Protein backbone atom coordinates (compact mmCIF):
# COMPACT_ATOMS: atom_id res chain seq x y z
CA UNK A 1 0.00 0.00 0.00
CA UNK A 2 3.01 2.26 0.40
CA UNK A 3 3.94 1.96 -3.27
CA UNK A 4 1.16 4.02 -4.79
CA UNK A 5 2.06 7.33 -3.07
CA UNK A 6 5.67 6.90 -4.18
CA UNK A 7 4.70 6.24 -7.79
CA UNK A 8 2.27 9.14 -7.68
CA UNK A 9 5.07 11.40 -6.47
CA UNK A 10 7.25 10.32 -9.37
CA UNK A 11 4.49 10.99 -11.84
CA UNK A 12 4.12 14.49 -10.42
CA UNK A 13 7.84 15.08 -10.87
CA UNK A 14 7.62 13.92 -14.49
CA UNK A 15 4.74 16.31 -15.02
CA UNK A 16 6.77 19.18 -13.67
CA UNK A 17 9.62 18.34 -16.02
CA UNK A 18 7.26 18.41 -19.00
CA UNK A 19 5.89 21.76 -17.87
CA UNK A 20 9.37 23.24 -17.76
CA UNK A 21 10.21 21.78 -21.13
CA UNK A 22 7.08 23.32 -22.59
CA UNK A 23 8.23 26.77 -21.55
CA UNK A 24 11.58 26.24 -23.34
CA UNK A 25 13.40 26.84 -20.07
CA UNK A 26 12.71 30.58 -20.19
CA UNK A 27 11.18 30.70 -16.70
CA UNK A 28 10.61 28.31 -13.83
CA UNK A 29 7.24 26.73 -13.25
CA UNK A 30 4.85 29.16 -11.60
CA UNK A 31 2.34 28.36 -8.90
CA UNK A 32 -0.58 30.36 -7.60
CA UNK A 33 -0.56 31.51 -3.98
CA UNK A 34 -3.71 30.32 -2.21
CA UNK A 35 -4.99 31.59 1.11
CA UNK A 36 -5.09 29.11 3.95
CA UNK A 37 -8.87 29.45 4.16
CA UNK A 38 -9.16 27.76 0.79
CA UNK A 39 -7.33 24.60 1.79
CA UNK A 40 -8.90 24.34 5.24
CA UNK A 41 -11.27 21.45 5.52
CA UNK A 42 -14.96 22.27 5.42
CA UNK A 43 -15.33 20.08 8.50
CA UNK A 44 -12.85 22.06 10.60
CA UNK A 45 -15.64 23.52 12.73
CA UNK A 46 -17.49 20.21 13.12
CA UNK A 47 -16.62 17.07 15.05
CA UNK A 48 -13.94 15.02 13.32
CA UNK A 49 -13.97 11.27 13.81
CA UNK A 50 -12.55 8.46 11.66
CA UNK A 51 -14.72 5.35 11.45
CA UNK A 52 -11.86 2.86 11.38
CA UNK A 53 -12.34 -0.36 13.35
CA UNK A 54 -8.65 -0.85 14.11
CA UNK A 55 -8.24 2.76 15.23
CA UNK A 56 -11.35 2.68 17.43
CA UNK A 57 -10.18 -0.54 19.12
CA UNK A 58 -6.68 0.87 19.70
CA UNK A 59 -8.15 4.08 21.15
CA UNK A 60 -10.37 2.11 23.54
CA UNK A 61 -7.38 -0.01 24.59
CA UNK A 62 -5.40 3.18 25.28
CA UNK A 63 -8.07 4.52 27.63
CA UNK A 64 -8.47 1.13 29.36
CA UNK A 65 -4.73 0.91 30.00
CA UNK A 66 -4.72 4.38 31.55
CA UNK A 67 -7.70 3.43 33.74
CA UNK A 68 -5.90 0.23 34.77
CA UNK A 69 -2.87 2.26 35.82
CA UNK A 70 -5.20 4.60 37.74
CA UNK A 71 -6.75 1.65 39.57
CA UNK A 72 -3.44 0.08 40.59
CA UNK A 73 -1.83 3.38 41.61
CA UNK A 74 -4.80 4.51 43.70
CA UNK A 75 -6.23 1.34 45.25
CA UNK A 76 -3.15 -0.88 45.43
CA UNK A 77 -0.41 1.62 46.31
CA UNK A 78 -1.72 5.00 47.53
CA UNK A 79 -4.91 4.30 49.48
CA UNK A 80 -3.31 1.66 51.77
CA UNK A 81 -0.19 3.83 52.28
CA UNK A 82 0.49 4.93 55.85
CA UNK A 83 1.90 8.32 54.85
CA UNK A 84 -1.07 10.56 54.02
CA UNK A 85 1.07 13.33 52.53
CA UNK A 86 2.78 10.83 50.22
CA UNK A 87 -0.60 9.56 49.02
CA UNK A 88 -2.09 13.02 48.44
CA UNK A 89 0.92 14.44 46.60
CA UNK A 90 1.47 11.44 44.33
CA UNK A 91 -2.25 10.88 43.80
CA UNK A 92 -2.79 14.50 42.76
CA UNK A 93 0.24 14.50 40.46
CA UNK A 94 -0.60 11.17 38.80
CA UNK A 95 -4.28 12.02 38.28
CA UNK A 96 -3.43 15.44 36.85
CA UNK A 97 -0.98 13.97 34.34
CA UNK A 98 -3.43 11.17 33.44
CA UNK A 99 -6.23 13.71 32.89
CA UNK A 100 -3.99 15.82 30.62
CA UNK A 101 -2.92 12.69 28.73
CA UNK A 102 -6.53 11.62 28.06
CA UNK A 103 -7.55 15.19 27.16
CA UNK A 104 -4.64 15.39 24.70
CA UNK A 105 -5.64 12.02 23.25
CA UNK A 106 -9.22 13.19 22.79
CA UNK A 107 -8.13 16.42 21.09
CA UNK A 108 -5.71 14.56 18.81
CA UNK A 109 -8.44 12.07 17.88
CA UNK A 110 -11.31 14.53 17.34
CA UNK A 111 -9.43 17.44 15.71
CA UNK A 112 -9.33 17.79 11.94
CA UNK A 113 -5.62 17.16 11.20
CA UNK A 114 -5.71 19.44 8.15
CA UNK A 115 -7.87 17.65 5.61
CA UNK A 116 -8.13 19.23 2.18
CA UNK A 117 -11.73 19.76 0.96
CA UNK A 118 -12.80 16.63 -0.86
CA UNK A 119 -13.76 16.74 -4.52
CA UNK A 120 -12.95 20.43 -5.07
CA UNK A 121 -10.69 19.82 -8.08
CA UNK A 122 -13.50 20.29 -10.60
CA UNK A 123 -13.01 21.60 -14.11
CA UNK A 124 -15.19 24.61 -13.35
CA UNK A 125 -13.18 25.58 -10.29
CA UNK A 126 -9.81 25.14 -12.03
CA UNK A 127 -11.06 27.35 -14.86
CA UNK A 128 -12.16 29.96 -12.31
CA UNK A 129 -8.54 30.21 -11.12
CA UNK A 130 -7.70 31.86 -14.46
CA UNK A 131 -4.33 30.17 -14.78
CA UNK A 132 -1.70 31.95 -16.82
CA UNK A 133 0.62 30.12 -19.24
CA UNK A 134 3.13 28.09 -17.27
CA UNK A 135 1.03 27.96 -14.13
CA UNK A 136 -0.14 24.51 -13.04
CA UNK A 137 -2.24 22.98 -10.34
CA UNK A 138 -2.19 19.41 -9.10
CA UNK A 139 -5.01 17.24 -7.90
CA UNK A 140 -5.13 14.00 -5.96
CA UNK A 141 -6.53 11.23 -8.19
CA UNK A 142 -7.88 9.36 -5.15
CA UNK A 143 -10.00 12.01 -3.44
CA UNK A 144 -10.23 14.43 -6.39
CA UNK A 145 -9.11 17.43 -4.35
CA UNK A 146 -6.71 20.26 -5.04
CA UNK A 147 -3.59 19.10 -3.28
CA UNK A 148 -1.43 21.69 -1.51
CA UNK A 149 2.26 21.02 -1.36
CA UNK A 150 3.44 18.92 1.59
CA UNK A 151 0.03 17.25 1.69
CA UNK A 152 -0.27 13.47 1.36
CA UNK A 153 -3.22 11.17 0.83
CA UNK A 154 -4.14 8.91 3.76
CA UNK A 155 -5.73 5.62 2.74
CA UNK A 156 -7.39 5.27 6.17
CA UNK A 157 -8.86 8.78 6.41
CA UNK A 158 -9.46 8.75 2.63
CA UNK A 159 -8.42 12.41 2.49
CA UNK A 160 -5.36 14.46 1.66
CA UNK A 161 -3.85 15.81 4.88
CA UNK A 162 -1.71 18.96 5.03
CA UNK A 163 1.76 18.33 6.52
CA UNK A 164 0.78 14.74 7.25
CA UNK A 165 3.36 13.09 9.49
CA UNK A 166 1.76 9.64 9.80
CA UNK A 167 -1.51 7.92 10.59
CA UNK A 168 -1.56 6.75 14.20
CA UNK A 169 -4.07 4.00 15.09
CA UNK A 170 -3.63 4.76 18.82
CA UNK A 171 -5.35 8.12 18.32
CA UNK A 172 -7.45 6.87 15.39
CA UNK A 173 -6.39 9.84 13.29
CA UNK A 174 -3.68 11.28 11.12
CA UNK A 175 -1.07 13.48 12.75
CA UNK A 176 -1.07 16.62 10.65
CA UNK A 177 -0.81 20.39 10.72
CA UNK A 178 -3.78 21.03 13.03
CA UNK A 179 -3.42 18.30 15.66
CA UNK A 180 0.33 17.70 15.93
CA UNK A 181 0.46 19.71 19.16
CA UNK A 182 -2.10 17.43 20.83
CA UNK A 183 -0.29 14.30 19.67
CA UNK A 184 3.02 15.59 21.05
CA UNK A 185 1.36 16.41 24.39
CA UNK A 186 -0.28 12.98 24.45
CA UNK A 187 3.05 11.18 24.04
CA UNK A 188 4.70 13.45 26.62
CA UNK A 189 2.04 12.98 29.31
CA UNK A 190 1.84 9.21 28.75
CA UNK A 191 5.62 9.00 29.12
CA UNK A 192 5.44 11.04 32.35
CA UNK A 193 2.69 8.97 33.97
CA UNK A 194 4.51 5.78 32.93
CA UNK A 195 7.71 6.99 34.58
CA UNK A 196 5.80 8.14 37.67
CA UNK A 197 4.03 4.78 37.98
CA UNK A 198 7.32 2.88 37.69
CA UNK A 199 8.92 4.99 40.42
CA UNK A 200 5.96 4.43 42.74
CA UNK A 201 6.02 0.67 42.09
CA UNK A 202 9.70 0.51 43.05
CA UNK A 203 9.06 2.39 46.31
CA UNK A 204 6.04 0.20 47.05
CA UNK A 205 8.04 -3.01 46.60
CA UNK A 206 10.80 -1.71 48.86
CA UNK A 207 8.31 -0.75 51.57
CA UNK A 208 6.53 -4.10 51.36
CA UNK A 209 9.76 -6.06 51.64
CA UNK A 210 10.56 -4.21 54.86
CA UNK A 211 7.02 -4.51 56.21
CA UNK A 212 4.28 -7.12 56.27
CA UNK A 213 2.83 -7.74 52.78
CA UNK A 214 -0.68 -8.03 54.22
CA UNK A 215 -0.44 -4.41 55.40
CA UNK A 216 0.88 -3.05 52.10
CA UNK A 217 -2.31 -3.47 50.13
CA UNK A 218 -6.02 -4.09 50.45
CA UNK A 219 -5.56 -7.12 48.18
CA UNK A 220 -3.91 -10.42 48.91
CA UNK A 221 -0.12 -10.60 48.48
CA UNK A 222 -0.29 -12.75 45.27
CA UNK A 223 -2.88 -10.42 43.70
CA UNK A 224 -0.86 -7.37 44.70
CA UNK A 225 2.32 -8.78 43.14
CA UNK A 226 0.52 -9.67 39.88
CA UNK A 227 -1.11 -6.24 39.62
CA UNK A 228 2.20 -4.48 40.25
CA UNK A 229 4.12 -6.64 37.77
CA UNK A 230 1.52 -5.96 35.07
CA UNK A 231 1.73 -2.24 35.81
CA UNK A 232 5.54 -2.42 35.57
CA UNK A 233 5.32 -4.12 32.19
CA UNK A 234 2.76 -1.59 30.92
CA UNK A 235 4.69 1.40 32.27
CA UNK A 236 8.03 0.26 30.87
CA UNK A 237 6.57 -0.56 27.45
CA UNK A 238 4.73 2.73 27.07
CA UNK A 239 7.58 4.77 28.55
CA UNK A 240 9.93 3.51 25.83
CA UNK A 241 7.36 3.77 23.03
CA UNK A 242 6.03 7.25 23.83
CA UNK A 243 9.49 8.64 24.63
CA UNK A 244 10.70 7.58 21.18
CA UNK A 245 7.58 9.03 19.54
CA UNK A 246 7.96 12.28 21.48
CA UNK A 247 11.60 12.56 20.41
CA UNK A 248 10.87 11.91 16.74
CA UNK A 249 8.00 14.40 16.75
CA UNK A 250 10.14 17.12 18.33
CA UNK A 251 12.86 16.44 15.78
CA UNK A 252 10.33 16.70 12.94
CA UNK A 253 9.01 19.98 14.31
CA UNK A 254 12.46 21.53 14.79
CA UNK A 255 13.64 20.51 11.31
CA UNK A 256 10.25 21.34 9.72
CA UNK A 257 10.19 17.97 7.98
CA UNK A 258 7.40 15.46 8.47
CA UNK A 259 7.90 11.74 8.93
CA UNK A 260 6.65 10.99 5.42
CA UNK A 261 8.98 13.59 3.91
CA UNK A 262 11.92 12.05 5.77
CA UNK A 263 10.90 8.54 4.72
CA UNK A 264 10.53 9.50 1.06
CA UNK A 265 13.58 11.78 1.21
CA UNK A 266 11.62 14.48 -0.57
CA UNK A 267 13.53 17.47 -1.85
CA UNK A 268 13.11 20.47 0.43
CA UNK A 269 11.43 23.26 -1.55
CA UNK A 270 9.76 25.26 1.24
CA UNK A 271 11.21 28.25 3.05
CA UNK A 272 13.57 27.35 5.87
CA UNK A 273 12.68 28.70 9.32
CA UNK A 274 14.39 28.77 12.67
CA UNK A 275 13.63 26.13 15.28
CA UNK A 276 11.85 28.73 17.38
CA UNK A 277 9.54 29.66 14.49
CA UNK A 278 8.83 25.99 13.80
CA UNK A 279 7.88 25.42 17.43
CA UNK A 280 5.60 28.44 17.41
CA UNK A 281 3.96 27.21 14.21
CA UNK A 282 2.86 24.05 16.04
CA UNK A 283 2.28 25.21 19.63
CA UNK A 284 1.21 28.83 19.15
CA UNK A 285 2.60 32.23 20.14
CA UNK A 286 5.54 32.90 22.45
CA UNK A 287 6.43 30.14 24.90
CA UNK A 288 4.00 29.93 27.81
CA UNK A 289 2.18 27.35 29.90
CA UNK A 290 -0.46 27.25 27.15
CA UNK A 291 2.01 25.19 25.12
CA UNK A 292 1.47 22.40 27.66
CA UNK A 293 -2.33 22.68 27.65
CA UNK A 294 -4.45 20.45 25.36
CA UNK A 295 -7.28 22.99 25.80
CA UNK A 296 -5.34 25.79 24.08
CA UNK A 297 -5.79 25.85 20.30
CA UNK A 298 -2.86 27.23 18.25
CA UNK A 299 -3.94 29.97 15.82
CA UNK A 300 -2.34 28.56 12.69
CA UNK A 301 -1.62 31.16 10.06
CA UNK A 302 -2.17 34.29 12.19
CA UNK A 303 1.35 34.88 13.45
CA UNK A 304 3.45 37.87 12.51
CA UNK A 305 6.44 35.70 11.68
CA UNK A 306 4.44 33.73 9.13
CA UNK A 307 3.23 36.99 7.60
CA UNK A 308 6.84 38.02 7.12
CA UNK A 309 7.56 34.63 5.53
CA UNK A 310 4.75 35.16 3.02
CA UNK A 311 6.15 38.57 2.04
CA UNK A 312 9.59 37.03 1.58
CA UNK A 313 8.04 34.32 -0.57
CA UNK A 314 6.22 36.86 -2.74
CA UNK A 315 9.40 38.84 -3.27
CA UNK A 316 11.33 35.71 -4.18
CA UNK A 317 8.65 34.62 -6.65
CA UNK A 318 8.79 37.97 -8.40
CA UNK A 319 12.52 37.40 -8.70
CA UNK A 320 11.99 34.07 -10.45
CA UNK A 321 12.41 31.72 -7.49
CA UNK A 322 8.91 30.27 -7.39
CA UNK A 323 10.15 26.71 -7.14
CA UNK A 324 11.80 27.17 -3.72
CA UNK A 325 9.24 29.46 -2.08
CA UNK A 326 5.78 28.92 -3.50
CA UNK A 327 5.72 25.13 -3.52
CA UNK A 328 3.84 25.58 -0.26
CA UNK A 329 1.06 27.34 -2.15
CA UNK A 330 -0.03 24.61 -4.54
CA UNK A 331 0.95 21.16 -5.64
CA UNK A 332 -1.97 19.63 -7.46
CA UNK A 333 -1.67 16.94 -10.14
CA UNK A 334 -3.85 17.56 -13.17
CA of residue 35 relative to chain centroid, distance: 22
Give the 3-state secondary structure percentages of the chain, helix then strand then coil, rounded to 5.
Answer: 60, 5, 35
Strand-pair category, 151-154 with 159-162: antiparallel
Does residue 324 have an active-site annotation?
Answer: no
CA gap 158, 164 in Å, rounded: 13
Report CA-CA distances (Å) from 105 to 43, 83, 180, 280.
19, 33, 11, 21
* Cα-based angle 113, 161, 331 (whole degrees, multiple of 5): 145
How far is it, in rounded angstroms, from Cα 106 to Cα 117? 23
Residue 314 CA to residue 251 CA, distance in Å, equals 28
Give the DSSP letter string of 81-144.
-S-HHHHHHHHHHHHHHHHHHHHHHHHHHHS---BPPTT---HHHHHHT-PPTTB---B-TTT-
**CA 121 – CA 19 distance, rounded (Å):** 19
**Taking the CA atoms of the chain, what radius of gyration do you get in angstroms?**
24
List, in sequence order, every residue forming a beta bridge with 146; answer none if it has no partner.
139
Of 199, 170, 205, nearest in space to 187 by CA: 170
Q: What is the spatial distance between Cα 78 and Cα 217, in angstroms, rounded to a whole number?
A: 9
Q: Sort 105 into a burial class: Cβ within 10 Å, 0-12 / 13-18 / 19+.
A: buried
Candidate list 143, 154, 157, 168, residue with the active-site label: 168
Q: What is the DSSP letter of 75?
A: I
Beta bridge pairs of residue 161: 115, 152
Active centre residues (catalytic): 168
Amino acid sequence: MMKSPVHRCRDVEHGRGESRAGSNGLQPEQRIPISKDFITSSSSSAMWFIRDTCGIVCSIITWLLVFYAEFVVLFVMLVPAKNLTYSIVNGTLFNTLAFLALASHLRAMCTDPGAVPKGNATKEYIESLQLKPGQVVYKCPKCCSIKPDRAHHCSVCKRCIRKMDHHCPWVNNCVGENNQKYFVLFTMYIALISLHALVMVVFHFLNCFEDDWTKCSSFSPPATVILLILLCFEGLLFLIFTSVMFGTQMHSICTDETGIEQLKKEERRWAKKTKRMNMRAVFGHQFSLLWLSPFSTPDHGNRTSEGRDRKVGQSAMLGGHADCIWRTSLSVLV
